[in-house]
Chain A
Amino acid sequence: MTNIMNDPDTIGLRVDAEAIRETMEYYDAQSWTDGLPVVPVTESYLQKFLAETTRDPAAVLFSMPHLNRELTVRLAAINAALAGCRPEYFPVVIAAWEAIAKEPLPVRGIWQSTTGTAPLTVVNGPIRGEIELNGAGNVFGSGFRANATIGRAIRLALINVFGLRPHLLDQATQGTPAKYTACIAENEEQSPWPPLHTEYGFDASESVVTSFVIRSVMHIEARHTSVPEQLALDFVDTIRRTGALIHQFTSALLVLSPEHAQVFAGAGWSKDDLRTYIYGQVVRSRQELAAVGKDAVSRSTNWRVPGDHPDAIADNAGEPDDPDTVRLLRYPTSIQIVVAGANNAGVSAVAEVIVLNPPNEFPMSYSKIGDQE
């Protein structure tokens, strides 16, 4: 079989299609899928995935104690294979789970929540080229096996191992298309800045996975300007939208196209310059927040509520000398930045992240590929 598929002169492949369809139907009947067909996984195929790591198959990568469930290396591998990963992708999947385990919200039940968030996996370093992970055109898909299946490997394990099935433990009101899969590489080669993982102190030659919990991915269209402030304000306007506000603060991952990144870098802005500028501009007047009933927070849940709500207490987001100007970012680091996409237009994206910080000023949901736990 392998020889046939690797032979470029082979123009056809004969299979028992009925047996394949029956297998797909079996997985569907077991509710072991996300709705799409999966790759059948047997012990011999699983062993190819486990051979890609030195980890103990019984080692636990991530657990949700309140669900009485834990994800072992073996279960992560079964679900990666099921998702269509090649065995050589598996170290990325392991690192993604380790990154997820460091985030504040997944362990607290965020993927049962009505908000309906998805895991987004961002990959840096040489592994991108080794497994052909896309960081250029169509970075959010589709068409790239590594991106499509690594993201799906995470979701399938959430469904199968943690039982986070829609209408059951997953109570997302609407969810997001990113729940099928969301994995991107940074386009380091066309970025004017050092790559994301070097901000954590890694060397650019190391491969690192960063995990985010995201809601919407909104696109920014700005082909008209080379003025960094103008361009930054388009991002600001999107980040400070009131519809995004659940809690006192919001946070976001900017996914800049190389062209947009160059507008900033060409004007001499570093990534820190950009996030500091955005931090200063992502504000709302108290009056604007009152107009949508989000001018205070609840004493019990810290969710935004109207100022006249019985649970309302003042948020502490106002400026000391200007209490009617409400900051919606906790820190400049509430903005994270990667460069991805084709270098062909002034088109970028803002992924709304829940929650980068607090509790930590600096995000910590990353893991080096191949590291021993």
Chain B
Amino acid sequence: MNGTELLLDPTGLDGSADESFLAPRPVSLRGLTLGLLDNTKPNATQLLNEIAALLQEKHGVATAKLYTKDYFGTPVKDELLRQVVDEVDIVVTAVGDCGSCSAATVADGILLERAGIPTVSIVSDSFNMSGRAMASVQGFPGFDFHAVPHPVASLDGEQIRERAEQALPQILRILGVES
């Protein structure tokens, strides 16, 4: 074979973006039902409960419902996703503090946004790049999620409460609500 030929792209990515829209934002959280999507990683339940308590006390969230994934490493299964979408108005999901679960937590957020539910995905900041890369492969490179300081798994109850308080302004910002 003589002459020049085009080098082939080995990724298979055709460059076309998926739909990358956010769900409509609520004006306020007053009276809303908050879904907490727990990925089973250590301290995820505690962190989500602290965030729920703050949103209920200070921002008028009416009720919080806890949902638990059966495996942290891949995104939420369709059945649970549909249940969450049917039952709540907004979601916070945590905690992406490992290689696969950081990406899965971001993917969960994108799935919920595309289903019309404003969602805050929480990862630990050691895994910010993993979350960002997942947003790209999901066709939503600009997806906004929140990175809390690593670690989370080894914190005690008081430290988890502090993480929740520190995260609150970013959670409100991503939900489109004035703090």
Contacts and interface: CB of A to CB of B under 8 A. Distances in A.
A and B: real partners? yes
Interface of A: 23, 26-27, 32, 40-46, 65-72, 75, 78-79, 82, 107-110, 112-115, 156-157, 160-161, 163, 165, 167-172, 298, 300-301, 311
Contact of A168 (B1, B107, B130): B130
Contacts of A65: 74
Contacts of A167: 129
Most A-side CB within 10 Å, residue of B6, B10, B75, B138 = B10
A258 B18 CA distance: 54
A67 B104 CA distance: 9
A168 B8 CA distance: 23
A27 B7 CA distance: 9
Contacts of A68: 18, 137-139
A161 B8 CA distance: 13
A42 B8 contact: yes
Interface stretch (B21-29, B51-59, B95-103): B95-103
A156 B10 CA distance: 9
Given A42-B5, A114-B99, A169-B103, A109 B10 contact: no
Given A108-B71, A300-B41, 14 more contacts: A41-B7, A66-B104, A67-B103, A67-B134, A72-B12, A109-B74, A109-B104, A112-B73, A112-B130, A113-B99, A157-B10, A163-B133, A163-B136, A171-B99
Nearest to A75: B12
B83 interface: no
Contacts of B12: 69-72, 75, 160-161
Contacts, number: 112
B72 interface: yes
B161 interface: no
A67 B10 contact: no
A110 B98 CA distance: 11
B42 interface: yes
B134 A169 contact: yes
Contacts of A41: 7-8, 10
Nearest to A32: B10
B48 to A, nearest CB: 14
A42 B9 CA distance: 9
User: 7 closest Cβ contacts across the A-B interface?
Assistant: A171-B99, A109-B100, A42-B5, A168-B133, A109-B73, A300-B40, A112-B100
By DSSP majority rule, is chain B's interface helix, strand, loop, or mixed?
loop
B127 interface: yes
Query: What interface size band does chain B fall in?
Result: 35 or more
Nearest to A170: B99
Contacts of A45: 1
Interface in B91-118: 98-100, 102-104, 107
Interface of B: 1, 5-12, 18, 40-42, 71-75, 98-100, 102-104, 107, 127, 129-130, 132-134, 136-139
Contacts of A44: 1, 5
A328 B30 CA distance: 52
Contacts of A72: 12
A298 B73 CA distance: 16
B98 A168 contact: no
B104 A26 contact: no
A75 B138 CA distance: 19
Contacts of A66: 74-75, 103-104, 107
Contacts of B41: 300-301
B10 A82 contact: yes
Nearest to B72: A301
Contacts of B7: 23, 26-27, 40-42
A42 B137 contact: no
Given A108-B74, A109-B100, A43 B107 contact: no
A26 B4 CA distance: 15
A43 B129 contact: no
10 contacts: A43-B5, A65-B74, A107-B74, A108-B73, A110-B73, A112-B130, A157-B10, A163-B136, A169-B134, A301-B40
Contact of A46 (B8, B75, B102, B130): B8
B96 to A, nearest CB: 10
A160 B9 CA distance: 9
Contacts of B73: 108-110, 112-113
A107 B104 CA distance: 13
B133 A165 contact: yes
A78 B98 contact: no
Nearest to B127: A171
A42 B73 CA distance: 36
Contacts of A301: 40-42, 72
Contacts of A79: 10
Contacts of A71: 12
B68 to A, nearest CB: 8
A175 B23 CA distance: 38
A310 B148 CA distance: 23
B99 A43 contact: no
